[in-house]
Chain A
Amino acid sequence: MVDTNQKEFRKRDLLYVVPLWLLSLILPDPHLDHLRKESRFRRRDLFYLGGLLLLPLMWPDTHLHHLMVLAGINAILALGLSLFLGYAGQISLGHAAFFGIGVYTTAILTTRYGFPTFVAFWASALVSAALAYLIGKPILKLKGYFLALATLGFGEIFLVIVRESHSLTGGVIGIFGIPWFSLAGFSFDTYLKQYYLTWGVLIGLLLFSKNLIRSKIGRAFLAVATSEDAASTVGIKVAQIKLGAFVIGAAFAGFAGSLFACVMSTANPETFGLNLSVLIIMMVILGGMGNLYGPIAGAIFLTWLVDILGKYQEYSLPIYGLILILLLISFPDGIGTRLNIRLIYLISYFGRKKRREKAEL
């Protein structure tokens, strides 16, 4: 169903082709993802899955493994937000707060009360989701800028609470000595093991999101994003759908936070300020809104970019900003989306032409 693509082919797109082709080997095709729901699992997915499994084995560099663990955690965050931002069309500047709730829930449960990490993992998601429910109920009546400001305020309030409640969270110093993630006696104590853990969780959540998107809930998300009036006239409870997207996003962030706590073994309020919220939004926007693979691609790319730029200390921020601006200018609808539209279009260009001629006869 490539011809559902209305983007027109232009000559200068030929210039994109080579880098596009190279990049598209890494970047999945996000566009039209929800349109092709009949095929649940495509051959291309298998390709990505294989690449994912083999990558750390082919490239046995612990720094890369660690980076990919962080990228995976960021991808879970971005995936959760993309349901809320990319599909349901709402904005949240406080997504990092739910990540923080996940981190602290795991930290407190494992170090203070000696819960196993597996239990803390689920508890983190539950606590994040429950808080999102309580916060979202009043906040989600707001729209656009007001919603952005309200969620921003929530994120900041959460940060202050964490810093000031020393007895519970350890204040600015944080909590140390969170155990490795372990399951039935198997401890995920190397970066390689954590890599498989993180990306395994991500794949699970990706499948969950995929199912959600191709079901009636996904249609309701898209309906709410485009026209709330029309959505309400077919009986979609707009408030409930928005709240659902918010809570699911928060639960994902809770999972991510729990993994992060186990990987870094510390919980510190500095890790989930506004910076992280904005970074997650950038991942979603840069990767491509309204699809599920885009945010993952965005997360890998930005995690890697931030790591690379770390070497250039004082110049890192201007370069970072410049790269983002350039990317957004050349790929306004997301790297993943744009690349794949072009590529799919190119591949199918002649085939489509032939088919069209046949149809006209």
Chain B
Amino acid sequence: MSFLSVEEIIKNYDGVRALNQVSLHVRKGIIKGLIGPNGAGKTTLFHLISGMERPASGKIYFKGTDITSMEPYEISLLGVGRTFQTLQIWGNMTVVENIMAGMHTRLKEGFLSCGLWLPWVKRTEKEALKEAKEILEFLGLLGRWKWLASQLSFGQQKILEMGRALAMKPELILLDEPAAGLTATEVRRLAERICQIRKEGVTILVVEHHMGLVMEIADEIAVLNNGELIAEGTPDVVRRNPQVIEAYLKGARVDA
């Protein structure tokens, strides 16, 4: 059984079929790109995998566990992190607190011990702060660790959101359009970072419209169109697939 497998998922929204019999398999340790025109069902698939919505039929397995009807927090406890297409950053917290909140499940204290500020709470908080700063350093946001997250620019907030997902030490991370709204240089740095995250053994599933980025970093690409999977394979194979060119790129050549 593969690392993440989506089996014949069907999802309807008020009579509109968003996903129709989609099956997707992701092997451990790879970067898998998920592309398709707007409304193809990419984000819906992410919502289903992260448990925020339920499919009408079909199953989703993560590391052999059936996660189809699990709560979002249960799924994240299994090691699935994600970012959102529409930013869901906690603007009322500082940058470093956003990252530390991402570590929530790894800190084991309860309400009472936190309220009484028992010695071990102090220790773990200190360690969490240190680790959060390391993550921020990796993301290049360390200089702004005390800022409110709402004060960061859009691009930085996107990166912060990725950092938050990383903070929970996931095994699989779902990135929903990480490059949307970023400048060319930011996209370059993002590509480097995604590759670096992969090197640390994290499997990545990425939805992206930025073709250059996907073609460059992804080991495999799946193409969705109108809720159906129309192609799957290495970037080269997908790029030459006539169906993809027809449906998604409307005849235009796919440039890497």
A219: contacting residue among B52, B88, B100, CB under 8 A: B100
Query: A234 touching B146 by the CB < 8 A rule?
Result: no
Contacts known (A211-B114, A215-B109); A232 close to B76, Cβ less than 8 A:
yes
Query: A217 touching B114 by the CB < 8 A rule?
Result: yes
A220 within 8 A of B: yes
**Which residues on B sit within 8 Å (CB–CB) of A237?**
73
Contacts known (A226-B92, A234-B168); A216 close to B104, Cβ less than 8 A:
yes
Query: A234 touching B93 by the CB < 8 A rule?
Result: no
What's the nearest-Cβ distance from chain B to residue A228, in Å? Answer: 9
**Which residues on B sit within 8 Å (CB–CB) of A230?**
84, 88-90, 164
A313 within 8 A of B: no
Interface residue ranges of B71-110 to A (CB < 8 Å) = 71-73, 76-77, 81-82, 84, 88-94, 97, 100-105, 107, 109
**Which residues on A sit within 8 Å (CB–CB) of B109?**
215-217
**Which residues on B sit within 8 Å (CB–CB) of A244?**
111
Query: A225 touching B92 by the CB < 8 A rule?
Result: yes
Binds A, one of B115-123, B178-186, B205-213: B115-123
A236 within 8 A of B: yes
Query: A215 touching B125 by the CB < 8 A rule?
Result: yes
Provide the bound-state CA to CA distance between A245 and B77, in Å.
22
By beta carbon, the residue of chain B nearest A216 is B107
B50 within 8 A of A: yes
Provide the bound-state CA to CA distance between A212 and B50, in Å.
29
Query: A217 touching B111 by the CB < 8 A rule?
Result: yes
Per-position 1/0 for B123-159, Cβ under 8 A of A: 0010010000000000000000011101100000000
Provide the bound-state CA to CA distance between A235 and B105, in Å.
6
**Which residues on A sit within 8 Å (CB–CB) of B111?**
212, 217, 244, 248
**Which residues on B sit within 8 Å (CB–CB) of A229?**
52, 72, 84, 88
Contacts known (A4-B146, A215-B125, A244-B111); A236 close to B88, Cβ less than 8 A:
no
Query: B101 touching A219 by the CB < 8 A rule?
Result: yes
Provide the bound-state CA to CA distance between A215 and B117, in Å.
8
A238: contacting residue among B73, B97, B167, CB under 8 A: B73
Provide the bound-state CA to CA distance between A201 and B121, in Å.
23
Counting chain B CB atoms within 10 Å of each CB, the highest count among A225, A226, A235 belongs to A235
**Which residues on B sit within 8 Å (CB–CB) of A222?**
90, 92-93, 97, 101
Query: A233 touching B82 by the CB < 8 A rule?
Result: yes
Query: A4 touching B147 by the CB < 8 A rule?
Result: yes
By beta carbon, the residue of chain A nearest B78 is A235
A319 within 8 A of B: no
A-B contact pairs, 30 of them (CB 8 A): A4-B146, A4-B147, A4-B148, A35-B94, A35-B146, A211-B114, A215-B114, A216-B125, A218-B114, A219-B93, A222-B90, A222-B97, A222-B101, A227-B89, A229-B72, A229-B84, A229-B88, A230-B164, A231-B101, A232-B51, A232-B52, A232-B73, A233-B52, A233-B82, A233-B165, A234-B81, A234-B101, A234-B164, A235-B168, A238-B73
Seen from chain A, the residues whose Cβ lies within 8 Å of a Cβ on chain B are 1, 4, 6, 34-35, 208-209, 211-212, 214-220, 222-223, 225-227, 229-238, 244, 248, 290
Q: A208-B116, A248-B111 are in contact. List 11 more A-B contacts (CB 8 A).
A: A1-B146, A4-B147, A211-B115, A215-B121, A220-B101, A223-B90, A225-B92, A232-B71, A234-B81, A234-B167, A236-B101
Seen from chain B, the residues whose Cβ lies within 8 Å of a Cβ on chain A are 50-52, 71-73, 76-77, 81-82, 84, 88-94, 97, 100-105, 107, 109, 111, 114-117, 121, 125, 128, 146-148, 150-151, 164-165, 167-168
